[in-house]
């Protein structure tokens, strides 16, 4: 005769601030992304957790002691800035346990300001030898006025007049992430230059995803997935989620949780390689 097993206890509700980032203002979204992914790294990585333990020992000894500086400033900040060049200075005990929306507005504003004012923000301090773009502009169709000729297909007739030709120099010793950031900085400057010339229209609007808010939603999905057992997420043979989450259906939740996990793995690998 089989012994009847007691039903497993249900997990308590996950704090909404751990997964719901819809109310984060646009001005805070980048700093929130850095802060929340850093929290997750600190909680997942035994190595980073150990460094925080060293930092807490330093705190108990006093903020002006060498042990505090060693634990909080040197090791922890180094490993976090390896993942996020704009990672702000945090000397308080609320990190990594307190979610972004659990912080006071004054604290959040200070972190946003530090991220935005960081010399590494958008790689503004990126040396020119990492990525160098020299652009030669043509007033008319480069196919008739420039050295290079473009095939008309798949470009449409009206698109060719918007093409500009230039030269690109890349130092391949740098990782793709840094090169992409440098290119993004150059692209932003060129767009501003076009705006000054009255060329503001963007005909083909992108439909892609993956910005800061999307990545935060991925992280929320990962936290929901890790917190609840499957029996609490959905009923048998049903995909509709029974709990509050950033996505309504289990397949979407799992897919986006996987994206967050992959991004976290990449960040951990980067911190391990540079520290």
Higher-pLDDT residue of 11, 102: 102
Apex 113 CA angle, 40 and 206, nearest 5: 70
Of the candidate ranges 13-27, 59-73, 252-266, the one whose mean pLDDT is the lowest: 59-73
Position 275 scores a pLDDT of 42
Position 182 scores a pLDDT of 81
Position 58 scores a pLDDT of 63
For residue 125, give every residue at least 6 positions away whose Cβ sits within 8 Å of its Cβ, in sequence order, or none.
Answer: 119
Higher-pLDDT residue of 127, 175: 175
Position 40 scores a pLDDT of 93
Beta-strand (E) ranges in 157-209? 165-170
Apex 253 CA angle, 25 and 270, nearest 5: 70
Q: What is the mean pLDDT of residues 76-81?
A: 69
* Segment holding 131, helix H or strand E: strand 131-136
Whole-prediction pTM value? 0.64
Position 242 scores a pLDDT of 94
273 pLDDT higher than 90? no
Average pLDDT, the chain: 76
Domain boundaries, the chain: 16-118+209-274, 131-196
Of the candidate ranges 9-13, 22-26, 50-54, 73-77, the one whose mean pLDDT is the lowest: 73-77
Beta carbons within 10 angstroms of residue 108's beta carbon: 20
Q: What are phi and psi of 193, to 5 degrees?
A: -65, -40
Which among 275, 244, 246 has a CA at the least distance from the CA of 259?
246
Higher-pLDDT residue of 82, 58: 82
Q: What are phi and psi of 215, to 5 degrees?
A: -65, -35
Position 49 scores a pLDDT of 72
pLDDT in tens, 91-149: 667 888 899 999 999 999 999 998 888 766 643 333 334 445 555 444 444 444 445 44
Which among 45, 33, 60, 86 has a CA at the least distance from the CA of 77?
86
Higher-pLDDT residue of 108, 45: 108
């Amino acid at each position: 005769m089989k012994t009847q097993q007691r039903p497993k206890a249900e997990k308590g509700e996950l704090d909404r601030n751990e997964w719901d980032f819809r109310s984060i203002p646009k001005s805070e979204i980048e700093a929130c992304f850095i802060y929340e992914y850093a929290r997750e790294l600190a909680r997942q990585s035994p190595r980073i957790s150990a460094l925080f333990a060293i930092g807490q020992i330093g705190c108990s000894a006093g903020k002006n002691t060498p042990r505090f500086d060693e634990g909080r400033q040197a090791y922890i900040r180094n490993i976090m800035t390896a993942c996020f060049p704009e990672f702000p200075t945090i000397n308080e005990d609320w990190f990594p346990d307190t979610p972004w929306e659990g912080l006071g507005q004054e604290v959040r504003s200070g972190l946003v300001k530090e991220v935005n004012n960081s010399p590494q923000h958008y790689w503004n301090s990126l040396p020119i030898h990492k990525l160098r773009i020299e652009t030669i502009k043509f007033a008319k169709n480069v196919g008739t006025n420039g050295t290079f000729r473009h095939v008309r297909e798949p470009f449409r007739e009206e698109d060719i007049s918007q093409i500009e030709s230039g030269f690109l120099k890349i130092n391949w010793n740098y990782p793709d992430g840094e090169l992409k950031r440098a290119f993004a900085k150059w692209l932003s400057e060129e767009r501003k230059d076009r705006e000054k010339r009255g060329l503001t229209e963007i005909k083909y609007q992108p439909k892609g995803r993956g910005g800061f808010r999307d990545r935060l939603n991925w992280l929320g999905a990962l936290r929901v997935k890790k917190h609840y057992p499957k029996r609490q997420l959905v009923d048998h043979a049903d995909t509709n989620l029974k709990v509050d989450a950033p996505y309504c259906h289990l397949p979407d939740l799992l897919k986006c949780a996987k994206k967050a996990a992959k991004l976290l793995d990449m960040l951990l690998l980067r911190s391990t390689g540079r520290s």
